[in-house]
Amino acid sequence: MDAELHEHLLSQARNGDRAAMGQLLEAFRPYLTLHAQRRFDPRLQSRVDPTDLVQLSFLEAFRDLADFRGQSVGEFASWLRTLLEHNASRLAERHLDAQRRSLRRESQSSTESGQRRMIESAPHEQSSPSRRAMRGEDAVWLATALAQLPEDQAEAIRLRHLEGLSLKQMSERLRRSETAVAGLVKRGLQKLKTMLPE
C-alpha cells in the first residue's frame, strides 16, 4: 500500500474530490472486508453478506466524510472500522426485530434478551496479539495481501490466526480434513511471507 498516495487521496477527498474518495475507499476494501468477516454473526448469513456491511459503510463514509476529525490514513482506517462495527450491531438488532415479528410467540422480555445475546456473542475486538495487529496501519497491508491469496487459503489464515479456531473447528467450518486445512494455512503463510515487508 502506497502511504503517500493514500495521504494525497485523503487530502483530495476532504477537498470534495469524489473520485479520490472512491479510490481511497477501494484501497481499504480488503481491510474492511476482513473486519466484516470477523464481526459478522453467522446467523445472519441467510439475510445479508459481510460485503454488504462494507458497502453500507462506504456509503456512510461518502456521506459523512465531513464528520471525520482525524488527520492520518491510520485514523481514517479506524473511522471506517467504527462505521462498519456500528452497522454490524444495527444489522443484528434489525434481524432480531424481524425474527420477533415473524415468530410473534416470543414474549417481549425473551426477545430483548435474545437481542443482547446475539450482539454480545458477535466477535468483538479483544486484546490478543493478532487482534492488536489488526488495529494498526499494518492491518491494511495484511488485508490487502490476504485478498491476493486464493480464497481458501485466505479464509484458512483468517480462521486460524485472527479468529483463533483450532484445526478441528476449521475442518468442520471448511468441510475439509484437518490435514487439508493445515496445508491451506501453511501454503497461505508461505505466500504471505513473500508479499509482506519485514
Last residue of a domain, one of 98, 121, 144: 121
Lowest-confidence range among 2-6, 20-24, 135-139, 159-163? 135-139
Find the mean pLDDT for residues 35-60.
78
Provide the residue type at 88 as one letter. A
Domain span at residue 87 reads 3-121
Q: How many domains does the chain have?
A: 2
108 and 138 assigned to the same domain: no
- Alpha-carbon separation of residue 198 from 10, 29, 69, 138, 156 (angstroms): 26, 23, 31, 11, 22
Give the pLDDT mean for 57-62.
90
Identify whether residues 9 and 60 lie together within a single domain. Answer: yes
Indicate if 77 and 134 belong to the same structural domain: no
Last residue of a domain, one of 121, 147, 177: 121
According to DSSP, residue 197 is labeled -
Domain end among 62, 90, 121: 121
Average pLDDT of the residues in 162-170: 84
CATH label of the domain that carries residue 182: 1.10.10.10
**Residue 68's closest CA among 54, 51, 83, 88?**
83
pLDDT of amino acid 80: 92
Give dist(CA 114, CA 30) in Å, integer: 31
Closest to 137 measured CA to CA, from 53, 56, 58, 74: 74
Within 13 A of 104's CA, how many CA atoms are on the CB side? 2
Q: What is the mean pLDDT of the chain?
A: 77
Question: Tens digits of per-residue pLDDT, 100-147?
Answer: 665 555 444 454 454 444 434 444 444 444 444 445 556 677 777 888
Identify whether residues 155 and 98 lie together within a single domain.
no
- 110 and 159 together in one domain: no
Alpha-carbon 151 to chain mean position:
15
SS3 181: helix
- Same-domain status, 105 and 162: no
